[in-house]
Amino acid sequence: MRVNKKNKNFVYLISPNKIKNEKFYIKLNQVLSSKKVSFFQLRLKKTNFKSKIFIGKKIKKICKKHHVKFIVNDDPIIAKKVNADGCHLGQKDMNIYNARKLLKNKIIGVTCHNSLNLAKKAVKEGANYLAFGAFYSSKTKKTKYKASLKILSLAKKLTNIPIVAIGGIKDTNYKKLLLNKANFLAISGYIWNNKKLNPKEAMDKLT
């Protein structure tokens, strides 16, 4: 899994919680054309299995067109069904060992909250990236765990695999995370639920 040292495509874009209509795919095309996105994660918590497959297949095509890695949240079975590039696992999801049996050499990322112990465990089990957060308060997801910038430097000493920062990231605070050596920034609400800017305009502010 390649890390862009210049951080030109540092965005790990996460989907809105609901994908309501065809307009979303047009917006996604526009946002991915920015060339700032390395990963797109499909995170639909309250959508049924069949709909996730349908939506996933459509998004996979758009991601492929823009050379963006397509990741499915929580569910390695759906990731395999839609031939995603990988899967992101929370601490309550399938373990890495079983996910790896299903997905072979695909990307598997793991949520580590604010814990170096969880990070060590994920590295030992063969995770391809580690996600830490929340660094800032978020309206997209309830903040159970608060991470400090210090966890980024500690994680860097622990491993060479990419580090993803998540939680309330927007145009006014993202640079601090990059300066503290986060490889990718997981962003959702700032792009999709921005009251002042459309998704493309919001992405353009991340320079």
Domain boundaries, given as residue ranges, for the chain: 11-204
Supply the pLDDT for residue 7.
64
Supply the pLDDT for residue 4.
46
| Pairing relationship of beta strands 11-14 and 86-89 according to DSSP bridges | unpaired
Average pLDDT rounded to a whole number, residues 179-201? 97
Please check the confidence at residue 17 and state whether its pLDDT lies above 70.
yes
Separation between Cα atoms, residue 85 and residue 99, nearest integer Å: 13
Q: Considering the chain, what percentage of its residues have pLDDT values greater than 90?
A: 90
Contact 185, 10 (CB under 8 A): yes
Pick the CATH number of 11-204 from 3.30.1300.10, 3.40.630.30, 3.50.50.60, 3.20.20.70: 3.20.20.70
140 falls in which pLDDT band (50, 70, 90)? low
Tokens, residue 122: 């994920």
Ordered DSSP codes for 97-127:
HHHHHHHTTSEEEEEEET-HHHHHHHHHTT-
The predicted-structure confidence for 23-45, as pLDDT tens digits, reads as follows 999 999 999 999 999 999 999 98
- Please give the model's pTM, rounded to 2 decimal places: 0.94
The predicted-structure confidence for 82-136, as pLDDT tens digits, reads as follows 999 999 999 999 999 999 999 999 999 999 999 999 999 999 999 999 999 999 9
2 falls in which pLDDT band (50, 70, 90)? low
Supply the pLDDT for residue 69.
98
Separation between Cα atoms, residue 153 and residue 54, nearest integer Å: 40
Average pLDDT rounded to a whole number, residues 43-63? 96
Average pLDDT of every residue of the chain: 94
The predicted-structure confidence for 104-118, as pLDDT tens digits, reads as follows 999 999 999 999 999
- For residue 66, the number of C-alpha atoms closer than 13 Å in the C-beta half-sphere is 22
Supply the pLDDT for residue 163.
98
